[in-house]
Chains A and B, each alone.
Chain A
Amino acid sequence: MAIFVNENTKVLVQGLTGGQGKYHGLRNRDYGTNIVGGVTPGKGGQDVDGIPVFDSVAEAVAATGADASFAAVPPKFASGAILEAAEAGIGFVVCITEGIPAQDEALTYNTLVRNFPDTRLLGPNCPGIISPGKCNIGITAGEIAEAPTAAGPNVGIVSRSGTLTYQALYELKQKGIGVSTCVGIGGDPVPGTNFIDCLEQFQADPETHAIMMIGEIGGSAEEEAAEYIKTNVTKPMSAYIAGVTAPAGKKMGHAGAIVSGGKGTAQGKMDALAAAGVEIGLNPTEAGELMATIVAGL
């Protein structure tokens, strides 16, 4: 088992003919991901290293039966690409694009919620998702992820920071700890998938025995996750929050102060998670060591 994706997931790459789409799409295929097609308007009928390219997601779905998409398109086209995938019935869209305007993200997210409730968006501005040995969608280097074992125990990873997602995977790899699925949810203002969505899936996934979470300063996603963990997550967890020593960020007018009400600091997030029973590391390595201890006791 794995969450959101597995060895049967059929993936389209939106933007397969572009630089990033081609590079990472082919890397994903080399990893073993079932990449069934690419989509670039106007380039239908071509192929990229044997992968057929279609003009639209709808055509690609009809021809390949794809059920997931990897959107690797520039910011100004990203919202359109995500909604096109949803309209074509794609159930899982991974968008790695950095620099999408926040207004577009908010509108796209709420349009999905209202009109396409069966489509889950991961990202944007995220590294993607990897179920080691089964499926890798996005920009994570596959070789840094340790495959899960049938006997376990295996760890699920969820991270809000891109590069720290890799760091978390690598910490566990060095310790020989298998990973069921690693989800990079991205740090943008309106992520399609949040900590709680992933925690819910990991809690229900029989192949996941413990959960490692990487957060960062700003917003209140970690505090909300802590509330959820208290009542819904029984699997043991370790966490790291980046930005303990970061300088205080700029304050967004009075509105920022009124809304945040003191939330958002690394200390506040660590306290909230600790109160929910999560073991807190002060750096990624420590969080990995704490996870090794947890796993050894399972």
Chain B
Amino acid sequence: MDLFEYQGKQYFARYDIPVSPGGPADTVDEAVKEANQAGYPVVVKAQVQVGGRGKAGGIKLADTEAEVREHAAAILGMDIKGHVVKRVWVEAASDIDEEYYASFTLDRAAKKHLLMLSAEGGVEIETVAETNPDAIVKLHIDPVDGLDSATARQACVGAKLPDRALDGAADILVKLYRCFTEGDCDLAEINPLILKPTGEVHALDAKVTLDDSALFRHPEWEVFGATQELDEREMMAKEKGLQYIGLDGDVGIIANGAGLAMSTLDVVNQVGGSDIGGGANADVMAGALEVINFDDNVTSILINIFGGITRGDEVAKGIVEAMGRVDLRAPIVIRLDGTNATEGRLILENAGIPEDELRSEPTMLDAARAAVSIANEN
């Protein structure tokens, strides 16, 4: 789950990472209220989950209440690369001496945590990575050891941060690492991490991706879930516990497992697809069909199941149940193999569903061909 900047800053604050005083606002009046509370000058920042908002005019400095009104009115409702701004974050403007970059992620290849730190932070950090990679310190951290203050300080020295920034930056790194690990982040990134003329170091931006698998131990994440940028189909899928990717094609795909779903997509090469995940039961299958059915571009539905933990009889029951309770917009082509596939095929055969509504194919390729051919006819 990707957090908006303001949520990331609120999350940072839980771990005592210094951020500017401010608050979120959905209307111009709310923005003014937040600005008056934070103290002028303020920055009005569009809350969208896409890069380049500054260049698009989504970040503005305001010295007066009138300017806050003007900027908030312009930014709320603004379209930034297809993302409509519904909320702004208003915070006290900071004097900036220097901009740094800091992040923690998991390096999958090394199987260790990775700290990246650079004295050359800001919007061009990816260019720095390409043209001057030595300007970014990359430090692997063994999760068993964690990150102590001395190592964090050493990393700051290595990144050539000035002496007066060392204590503040090292302190933030230790706190950010705690946020990353105890806070179950996939990514905790500050860009820029700023040094003020007064010598304080603090987070001017926040990019946080939470690990959805850890939701069970973070009741405080509940508030974040409600603000995710999902379309109607994605919302519906999420409620039913499905992994759903909305695409533009006319073949709806339901498969068990992300790999098989991607592979089915490869074979069909058109499409809209859904992954019913492991251990799907009849109800999940019916739910997946409902989600697919919601998309009026779909003219054929391809169900590709290779049962392992998913059982073929449960899949078949779900299909029969769904066909009883939903008026499907398109015919189904199914390929069913693996755990309890024989039982599943028998359930489908005995359900008395006409051939033009449901047909079974022996292989994945045959099923894909049939689904595409139906889509092309309709």
Using a CB–CB distance below 8 Å, which chain A residues touch chain B?
20, 24, 75-76, 96, 98-103, 106-107, 109-111, 114, 127, 138-141, 144, 159-167, 170, 187, 189-190, 214, 216-217, 219-221, 224, 240, 242-247, 250, 252-259, 261, 282-285
Contacts and interface: CB of A to CB of B under 8 A. Distances in A.
21 contacts: A76-B217, A101-B214, A102-B106, A102-B184, A103-B143, A110-B111, A110-B144, A127-B309, A139-B308, A141-B339, A159-B259, A167-B306, A170-B338, A221-B108, A243-B265, A245-B265, A254-B103, A254-B126, A254-B129, A254-B207, A285-B363
Contacts of A20: 279, 309
A247 B186 contact: no
* List of 7 A-B pairs having minimum Cβ-Cβ separation, nearest first: A161-B259, A163-B257, A163-B260, A101-B214, A164-B259, A243-B262, A242-B262
B184 A242 contact: no
Given A164-B260, A246-B265, A24 B309 contact: yes
B188 to A, nearest CB: 9
Contact of A141 (B125, B142, B307, B365): B307
B263 interface: yes
Interface stretch (B82-90, B112-120, B160-168): B112-120
A242 B261 CA distance: 9
Nearest to A114: B144
B70 interface: no
Contacts of B191: 253-254
Contact of B105 (A96, A170, A220, A256): A256
A217 B265 CA distance: 13
Contact of B181 (A103, A140, A244, A258): A103
A166 B278 CA distance: 13
Contact of B266 (A75, A245, A261): A245
A282 B309 contact: no
Contact of A167 (B106, B184, B211, B263): B263
Contacts of B105: 252-253, 255-256, 259
A247 B245 contact: yes
B287 to A, nearest CB: 18
Contact of A170 (B111, B116, B216, B337): B337
Given A102-B186, A102-B214, A258-B125, 8 more contacts: A114-B144, A162-B278, A166-B338, A187-B258, A243-B263, A252-B209, A253-B187, A258-B126
A103 B217 CA distance: 12
A258 B216 contact: no
B111 A253 contact: no
B247 interface: yes
A106 B113 contact: yes
Nearest to B129: A258
Contact of B259 (A102, A144, A162): A162
Interface string B184-211: 1011010100000000000000010101
Contact of B309 (A96, A258, A261): A96
Interface of B: 2, 101, 103, 105-109, 111-114, 116, 125-126, 129, 136, 142-144, 181, 184, 186-187, 189, 191, 207, 209, 211, 213-214, 216-217, 245, 247, 255-260, 262-263, 265-267, 269, 277-279, 306-309, 337-339, 341, 363-365
A199 B2 CA distance: 36
Contacts of A242: 259-260, 262-263, 266
B213 A102 contact: yes
Highest count of chain A CB atoms <10 Å: which of B105, B111, B136, B365: B111
B99 to A, nearest CB: 13
A214 B187 contact: no
Nearest to B304: A163
Interface centre among B116, B144, B207 (most CB of A within 10 A): B144
B187 A101 contact: no
Contacts of A167: 260, 263, 306, 364
Contacts of B101: 254
Contact of B262 (A111, A159, A190, A216): A216
A217 B261 CA distance: 12
Given A103-B143, A110-B144, A253-B189, A161 B260 contact: yes
Contacts of A253: 103, 105, 187, 189, 191, 207, 209
Contact of A187 (B2, B186, B259): B259
Contact of A252 (B116, B186, B265): B186
Contacts of B308: 127, 138-141, 162-163, 165-166
B144 A99 contact: no
B278 A259 contact: no
A108 to B, nearest CB: 9
B143 A107 contact: yes
Nearest to B339: A141
Contacts of A256: 105, 187
